[in-house]
Amino acid sequence: MVPPPRFATVSFDNYITDPGQPSQAEAVEALRGFAAQLDGGAGAKGGRRRHWFRREAKPAASGGPRGMYLDGGYGVGKTHLLASLWHATPAAPELKAFGTFVELTNLVGALGFQQTVKTLSGHRLLCIDEFELDDPGDTVLVSTLLGKLVEAGVALAATSNTLPGKLGEGRFAAADFLREIQGLSAHFRTLRIDGEDYRHRGLPAAPAPHSDETVTRAARHIPGASLDDFPALLDHLSRVHPSRYGAMCDGVQAVCLTGVGPIPDQSTALRLVVLADRLYDREVPVLASGVPFDQLFSEEMLNGGYRKKYFRAISRLTALARDAKGLADVASSGR
């Protein structure tokens, strides 16, 4: 549970703030201070001596909540800042954990609740990216888990497109689980980060979709490239648990897709969002034919409870399509 390859070397220093958005610089300074509070007298390597038979109390952050919650639109650099906090926290890597919200719930599924609490309670910091509550079960599970970890002295940090008190809104009867949602909110100090999508700030328009012939030719000439018909890929995703999408992407150097078209239903759309996130984390370019990525989701989807997830997916897939622009040139040179 470490930051993915795209964020393996990020820092507060290489986070480029927008001068017109002071909240970005304010967030950097707040997170620097939070990381410093987690030092607790750690040595040069950030480690602490551990005892087999005695549990030492962990240093607490001075006052206030035990967590930082980065709220803002897609593309303002929240994951960059979260990963920077992980890197800046003076603790050995085995005392820090970084993962998406989905990966955290999958960890509970794999280890069981009590073992997850036991495993993570020994950490100095838990970073949760893309914090979302899509169903009541997740609400109760995560509320209970984070409460246990805070009691154990674990510091928390999370990113989301939704304020803590608004989690689950528009997706299930959040009012019925208000106590759990308020309990989650109490663990965090919220940092609002404003700004436009940095992935497309000042850049040329995304490349238009290519022809099936170009995509197929590129797949044949690029080592490690995959080639799939888009409807077949969506069907395959329905038979693979989302927790395995990351492993499915391992070793893939480029994704080539033919026949990209509108997503037929919300369940399929949400699976594609997870795949887009894993491809983006691994910096895998996507070369595609069919409709542009901003036409994947229906107006109903883009106006519904998951709209922020869909806009994030569009932003990330468009960035990966821009990264793949040179792959079409490889295909042309290989005629």
> CA-CA distance, 41 to 207, in Å (whole number)?
51
Residue 263 has pLDDT above 90, yes or no: yes
> CA-CA distance, 197 to 210, in Å (whole number)?
24
Most confident of 72-81, 186-195, 238-247: 238-247
Q: Tell me, what's the pLDDT at 107?
A: 84
Instruction: Report, as an integer, the average pLDDT of 49-64.
Output: 41
Show me where the domains of the chain are located: 5-198, 203-333
Query: Shortest CA distance to 79 belongs to which of 181, 150, 171, 10?
Result: 10
Least confident of 37-41, 231-235, 250-254: 37-41
Which is more confident, 65 or 253? 253
3-state helix, strand, coil in the chain (%, to 5): 50, 15, 40
Q: Are strands 286-290 and 254-260 parallel, antiparallel or unpaired?
A: parallel
**How does pLDDT run across 168-219, given as a tens digit for each residue?**
444 434 344 345 545 666 777 888 888 766 654 555 566 788 999 999 999 9
The number of beta carbons lying within 10 Å of the beta carbon of residue 222 is 20
Contact 64, 189 (CB under 8 A): yes
Q: Tell me, what's the pLDDT at 332?
A: 60
Q: Tell me, what's the pLDDT at 106?
A: 79
Q: Three-state DSSP class for 327?
A: helix
Q: Tell me, what's the pLDDT at 26?
A: 92
The number of beta carbons lying within 10 Å of the beta carbon of residue 209 is 20
Residue 306 pLDDT class (50, 70, 90 cuts): confident
Residue 139 has pLDDT above 80, yes or no: no
Which is more confident, 276 or 186? 276
- Mean pLDDT value across the chain: 79
Instruction: Report, as an integer, the average pLDDT of 61-89.
Output: 79
> CA-CA distance, 154 to 212, in Å (whole number)?
50
Query: Shortest CA distance to 272 belongs to which of 252, 304, 297, 305?
Result: 297
Instruction: Report, as an integer, the average pLDDT of 295-313.
Output: 86
Most confident of 16-25, 54-63, 164-173, 191-200: 16-25
Which amino acid is it at 93?
Answer: P
Say if pTM beats, i.e. exceeds, 0.85.
no
Q: Tell me, what's the pLDDT at 141?
A: 80
Instruction: Please state which CATH number belongs to domain 5-198.
Output: 3.40.50.300
Which is more confident, 5 or 237? 237
Percent of the chain with pLDDT over 70: 77
Residue 132 has pLDDT above 80, yes or no: no
Q: Tell me, what's the pLDDT at 229?
A: 96
Instruction: Report, as an integer, the average pLDDT of 36-55.
Output: 47
Q: Tell me, what's the pLDDT at 178?
A: 45
Place of tokens 């246990």: 148
Q: Tell me, what's the pLDDT at 256?
A: 94
Instruction: Report, as an integer, the average pLDDT of 127-144.
Output: 74
Most confident of 34-43, 143-152, 280-289: 280-289
> CA-CA distance, 183 to 165, in Å (whole number)?
9
